């Protein structure tokens, strides 16, 4: 678990990212804040597209930004939606996370004011297809 100061920083970054959401089709903005192993926080928002399949979720935006800048080890992610009930990452985001996240990495789910729940990554996707599977000896 992270200390309260870091969680507050994640909330702030996710809230700012939420404001940048481009979600004209779903009207469901999402913001994310990804903490890397160096302590840097990467923000991301969902960016929708009229062809739907080209839409990118907030979690993947944050991961892709960080990886494109050379950061590939993560300590936590916070996902924020403007709803009272927490919204976990979709299956596609969870699968992308499998490439970079340890099973015990915390995933925080928040509304615009507070963390509502938290999970270990492995609780959200217990059997990911990923590097460990591909490199496993047969």
The catalytic residue positions are 59
Q: Tokens standing for 114?
A: 């507070």
Edge to edge, the sheet with strand 106-110 lists 41-45, 31-36, 74-80, 106-110, 115-120
Q: Can you say whether the dihedral through the CA atoms of 92, 66, 136, 88 is positive or negative?
A: negative
Give 56's DSSP letter: B
Query: 57 with 90: CB under 8 angstroms?
Result: yes
């Amino acid at each position: 678990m992270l200390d309260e100061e870091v969680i507050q920083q994640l909330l702030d970054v996710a809230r700012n990212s939420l404001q940048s959401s481009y979600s004209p089709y779903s009207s469901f903005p999402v913001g994310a804040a990804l903490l890397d192993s160096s302590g840097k926080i990467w923000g991301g928002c969902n960016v929708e597209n009229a062809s739907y399949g080209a839409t990118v979720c907030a979690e993947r935006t944050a991961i892709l930004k960080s990886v494109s800048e050379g950061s590939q080890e993560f300590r936590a992610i916070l996902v924020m939606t403007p709803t009272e009930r927490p919204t976990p990452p979709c299956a596609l985001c969870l699968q992308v996370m499998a490439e970079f996240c340890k099973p015990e990495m915390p995933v925080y789910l928040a509304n615009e004011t507070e963390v509502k729940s938290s999970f270990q990554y492995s609780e959200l996707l217990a059997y990911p297809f990923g590097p460990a599977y591909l490199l496993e000896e047969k």
